[in-house]
Amino acid sequence: MQGLSKKEIKVVADLEFQKKYYFTTEDIKNHFKNKRQMINTVYTLRKKGRIIKLNRNKYFLVPIKARHGKWTDNEIIIADEICNSKDYFIGGWAGAHYWQLTEQIPMQVDIYTTRRQGKTNILNTRFVFHRTTKRNIKKAVTKKIGENSFKIISKENSKKWMKR
């Protein structure tokens, strides 16, 4: 791969071999002598577009097979990884689309959480965070896509949301 150092190729190849496309700095710290070297390598990989920052300590690895650095993943799985699988659920049009209550493809993913609020763009997808209560989060259901589980608004609540 042109443009990557030997150390960067080693880190990316190791993560791909382990099939860890979502990783933290803890997963790669064994490749480095000290924290400064690790931070610099993560910084250069981000600058080169080989990893994408999801939250404070979690990253998404763009696989080597993505020849030009363009890659995407399921928005629902990305939302679960952003929230570290805690205190959230997916609602809005993304939830309605998941339950096949609408044929519209959602323009954004609405994430209801107790932790944060605001908007962010990750992997060409817009994520909008809304504040909610822990009581509302308990009403969400857990589903699976492949090996990944995620929390989404229940079908009944999604129908109520659409009538509003």
Q: What's the mean pLDDT in 135-162?
A: 91
Within 10 A of 43 (CB to CB), how many other CB atoms are there?
Answer: 11
Q: Where in the chain is the domain with CATH 1.10.10?
A: 6-61
The pLDDT of residue 123 is 80
Distance CA 90, CA 147 (A): 18
The pLDDT of residue 148 is 87
The pLDDT of residue 114 is 92
122 pLDDT exceeds 60? yes
Amino acid at residue number 17:
F
- First-residue to last-residue Cα distance in the chain: 52
Within 10 A of 2 (CB to CB), how many other CB atoms are there?
Answer: 3
Lowest mean per-residue pLDDT among 109-113, 117-121, 128-132, 160-164: 160-164
* Domain 6-61 is found in CATH 3.40.50: no
Lowest mean per-residue pLDDT among 3-12, 35-44, 124-133: 3-12
How many percent of the chain have pLDDT more than 90?
Answer: 64
